[in-house]
Amino acid sequence: MNVRPGIWLIVLFLAAAPGLWGAEESAGHGGGSLDFIGKVINFAVLFGGLAFVLFKPLRAMLRKRTEDVRRTLDDSEAERRRAEENLRFAQARLENLASEVEALRKAAEAEGLAEQEKIRRLAAEEAEKIKRLTKSDMEAQVRAGIRELKRHAAGLAVERASARLKSRLTPERQAGLIDLSIAELAGKDEKEGSDPKIRPRAH
């Protein structure tokens, strides 16, 4: 059956005590070598018993200590792995962030170029529209000017022709033209067989 460690210690002490007392009595009779051997045996039995009694508690304590150390090492290893994983994640995040920043920069640059191209195209279209409008306006103004010049020239021609006629048609010439017209009309009436009703004017 199981015996408690304290009982074992008491038993071992009681077993070793007579040897110690016997060693002291033999020392009084002059047995030095036997006394020394007895002490050695007694100490060996005592410490052997103590070792036997304390073996299980010491082993349990050492096992617990070993488990604690192992658990601490395992926790430290797990913590180190988590730290390494966090470090790798942070590095990957930084790399991705750099890639995202580069992508955003390129997208902004491309968008800026596209916007510049759009503005350039709109400006060119507007300039072409203004050019066409200006050309159309100029052509319309030129046509209007030509029409005005033609009207003015026609008016001047009529005025000049009228002035020439007035300067050339003296009263005598006017009377002659009138008589000539009357004579032509009279000759025409005679050919048609009608009585002449219009006669030349008397001068």
Q: Where are the domains of the chain?
A: 5-138, 170-203
C-beta neighbour count of 154 within 10 angstroms? 10
Determine the distance from the C-alpha atom of residue 140 to the mean position of all C-alpha atoms in its chain, rounded to a whole number. Answer: 52
Q: Are 9 and 49 in contact (CB under 8 A)?
A: yes
Asked if residue 19 lies in contact with residue 34, where contact means CB atoms within 8 angstroms, the answer is: no
Of 97, 117, 93, 95, the C-alpha closest to 105 is: 97
53, 9 Cβ separation under 8 angstroms? yes
- What is the per-residue pLDDT across 129-179, written as a single tens digit (0 to 9) for each? 877 777 777 778 778 878 888 887 787 877 777 777 777 667 777 677 777
DSSP string, 85-101: HHHHHHHHHHHHHHHHH
94-122 in b/e form (b: 16+ CB < 10 A) is eeeeeeeeeeeeeeeeeeeeeeeeeeeee
**pLDDT tens-digit series, residues 157-166:** 777 777 777 7
pLDDT in tens, 11-33: 555 555 554 444 444 444 445 67
pLDDT at position 145:
79
Q: What is the pLDDT of residues 35-67, one digit of tens each?
A: 778 777 777 777 777 777 777 777 888 888 888
pLDDT at position 92: 83
pLDDT band at 186 (very low <50, low <70, confident <90, very high): confident
For position 189, what pLDDT does the model report?
61
pLDDT at 9 over 60: no
